């Protein structure tokens, strides 16, 4: 299954069915994204790979006199984003179904492009970022988050790897999506791709945060298992998976520390 097929199939449907879960997983990184993005009122913002649109709406709240476009390749997620967006509160938000690598943006039509983890999946990253650069005015800014390389002893990698091995699956290499997730994890690669796409003033800064996987270990296991539709899991396996997550239970839920890059760049 290609990456685009996955986002239009089971993976996109899962994200569309569980926006609150995925937002809880990622919200520890939102402050870093929006601090770096420094959205100003009046800004014209495009949110690349907007998913169910939370960051699109967060940008829109910061730019009530601007306009914000969420772009995503996933039909289920664009549908979900539209359903979650109150037109009266967000008259300046629109969503667009399309591949950000190739969709025709109005040249120079945006001041700022943001993305919370939606820019690692392009078939041709240089072409995609060049297309995004073309959508920005001269001096326009790009700010996105993407995963840091998974550290073998990092909490998220260790815990999810253990869950996957208990399920008899290889969490790290099981799909084209997993491979794509890591496509920008090396800062040298980020500089290479953005430089080739015409961006300048490229800055890559590491940020860590807790990602929430569920209210308790059993809940987190239920969520993890639900990501593999149709997978039969025995009670014994489920119990072993739950035990594996017990060390990560906190009053705030099952929290796994993870790291992302905050990447900022601008067009000349
Ligand atoms: C990890 S999810 C993040 C979603 C959203 N930014 C969030 O934080 O909830 C990645 C998103 O990128 C989208 N995506 C993948 N490839 C894309 C492409 N070529 N053009 C536009 N969106 C894409 C997926 O459909 C998915 O919604």
Domains of the chain plus CATH, in order, are 3-148+174-209+258-266 (3.40.50.150)
Residue 116 has pLDDT above 70, yes or no: yes
3-state DSSP assignment of residue 54: helix
Tell me what the mean pLDDT of segment 29-58 comes to: 98
Range 94-97 contact pairs with CB under 8 angstroms and sequence separation of 24 or more: 94/67, 94/68, 94/69, 94/70, 95/50, 95/53, 95/56, 95/69, 95/70, 95/71, 96/69, 96/70, 96/71, 96/72, 97/72, 97/73
122 ligand 1 Cβ < 6 A: yes
How many Å lie between the centroid of ligand 1 and the Cα of residue 48? 7
Residue 204 has pLDDT above 80, yes or no: yes
Tell me what the mean pLDDT of segment 146-164 comes to: 88
- Cβ atoms of 111 and 44 closer than 8 Å: yes
pLDDT tens across 234-256, in order? 999 999 999 999 999 999 999 99
Residue 173 has pLDDT above 80, yes or no: no
21 ligand 1 Cβ < 6 A: no
Residue with tokens 């099952």: 254
How many Å lie between the centroid of ligand 1 and the Cα of residue 240? 32
Tell me what the mean pLDDT of segment 2-7 comes to: 93
99 ligand 1 Cβ < 6 A: yes
232 pLDDT tier (thresholds 50, 70, 90): confident
Residue closest via CA to ligand 1's atom 7 equals 51
CA dist 53 and 170 (Å) reads 30
- Cβ atoms of 212 and 23 closer than 8 Å: no
26 ligand 1 Cβ < 6 A: yes
- pLDDT the model gives residue 45: 98
Q: Which of 121, 132, 260, when mutated, tests ligand 1's pocket best, judged by the most ligand atoms within 8 Å of its CB?
A: 121
**By percentage, how much of the chain surpasses pLDDT 70?**
98
User: b/e per residue, 2-16, with b = 16+ CB within 10 A?
Assistant: ebeebbbbbbbbbbb
- pLDDT the model gives residue 174: 52
What atom of ligand 1 comes closest to residue 122's alpha carbon? Answer: 19
CA dist 244 and 123 (Å) reads 36
**By percentage, how much of the chain surpasses pLDDT 90?**
86
144 ligand 1 Cβ < 6 A: no
């Amino acid at each position: 299954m290609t990456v685009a097929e996955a986002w239009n199939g089971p993976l996109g449907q899962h994200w569309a069915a569980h926006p609150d879960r995925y937002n809880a997983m990622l919200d520890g990184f939102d402050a870093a994204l929006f601090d770096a993005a420094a959205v100003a009122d009046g800004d014209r913002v495009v949110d690349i790979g907007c998913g169910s649109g939370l960051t699109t709406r967060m940008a829109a709240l910061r730019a009530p006199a601007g306009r914000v476009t969420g772009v995503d390749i996933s039909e289920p997620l664009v549908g979900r984003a539209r359903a979650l967006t109150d037109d009266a509160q967000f008259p300046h938000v629109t969503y667009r179904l399309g591949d950000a690598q190739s969709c025709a943006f109005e040249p120079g039509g945006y001041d700022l492009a943001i993305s919370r983890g939606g820019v690692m999946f392009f078939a041709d990253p240089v072409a995609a970022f060049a297309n995004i650069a073309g959508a920005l005015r001269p001096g326009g800014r790009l700010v996105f988050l993407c995963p840091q390389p998974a550290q073998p002893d990092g909490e998220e990698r260790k815990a999810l790897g253990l869950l996957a091995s208990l399920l008899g699956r290889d969490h790290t290499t099981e799909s084209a999506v997993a491979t794509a997730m890591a496509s920008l994890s090396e800062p040298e690669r980020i500089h290479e791709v953005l430089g080739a796409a015409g961006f300048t003033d490229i800055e890559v800064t590491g940020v860590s945060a807790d990602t929430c996987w569920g209210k308790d270990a059993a809940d987190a296991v239920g969520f993890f298992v639900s990501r593999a539709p149709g997978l039969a899991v025995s009670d014994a396996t489920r119990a072993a998976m739950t035990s594996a997550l017990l060390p990560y239970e906190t009053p705030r839920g099952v929290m796994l520390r993870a790291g992302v890059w905050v990447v900022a760049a601008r067009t000349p």
